[in-house]
A and B are shown apart, each in its own frame.
Chain A
């Protein structure tokens, strides 16, 4: 089984870092993983995608992900401008940062999990230059929706990435989102 995950965010929100942290967590469990950004210009604020591919065994694939089985939406504003379900497998899972129960009617046909990652991030003071940083909270929600790795591995990967307080509050964001995320 290969998990193919696509992250939708906006340039500067940390989608690429989230994808990489998920791989780092998987590697500590002896799994194989790859992460990569969308291959193109990087523009702050613009809709961006990032990808992660995680499997039990090593594989040789290097081509992009076109049919993900998991889609993660960091910013629900994206839903108005991008078809986030493009290529998503029929039995795929959607994980959306939203406070509303149904962010969009058309998403109902997928297994959908929501979490108010913005609220969690704000309550922990996670913001940089006007941006609320929700990427680490979203990692917790992903693990709740699909147990790719354990929440402990994700929290460890976060703490290894940023030392001290920053690592601790980001790990806490993941833990809270893991608890609060729920399926519709």
Chain B
């Protein structure tokens, strides 16, 4: 396919491994997590990964450390810690 105008396709990590942008990282306390998935909805970068049992995992390769998940978590199960 020859491009005649600018088009682009969705792909992972076009800006590189954005995990290096972090100065603080989110740490999940599984004991406290109530699987409400609010963090999964709020994460602006899609770096909260939803598993089959609705538990979550954080993709540190791309998480920029913005802290939105920690701020929104109603169970206070995510803490931001210095890198």
Please determine whether A130 and B23 come into contact, CB atoms closer than 8 angstroms.
yes
Count residues on chain B whose CB falls below 8 Å from chain A CBs. Answer: 12
Q: Flag A45-76 by CB within 8 Å of B: 1 or 0 each.
A: 11100000000000000000000000000000
Please determine whether A46 and B23 come into contact, CB atoms closer than 8 angstroms.
no
Please determine whether A45 and B64 come into contact, CB atoms closer than 8 angstroms.
yes
Contact of B21 (CB < 8 Å), options: A45, A80, A130: A45
Query: Total number of A-B contacts with CB less than 8 angstroms?
Result: 26
Count residues on chain A whose CB falls below 8 Å from chain B CBs. Answer: 13
Contact of A46 (CB < 8 Å), options: B21, B24, B82: B21
**Stretch of B12-20, B38-46, B70-78 at the chain-chain interface:** B12-20
For residue B80, which residue of chain A has the nearest CB? Answer: A130
Please determine whether A44 and B20 come into contact, CB atoms closer than 8 angstroms.
no
Q: List 26 A-B contacts (CB under 8 A).
A: A10-B20, A10-B21, A11-B21, A43-B21, A44-B21, A45-B20, A45-B21, A45-B22, A45-B23, A45-B64, A45-B65, A46-B15, A46-B18, A46-B20, A46-B21, A47-B20, A77-B20, A78-B20, A80-B20, A81-B16, A81-B17, A81-B20, A130-B23, A130-B24, A130-B82, A131-B23
The interface of chain A, by Cβ under 8 A from chain B, is: 10-11, 43-47, 77-78, 80-81, 130-131
The interface of chain B, by Cβ under 8 A from chain A, is: 15-18, 20-24, 64-65, 82
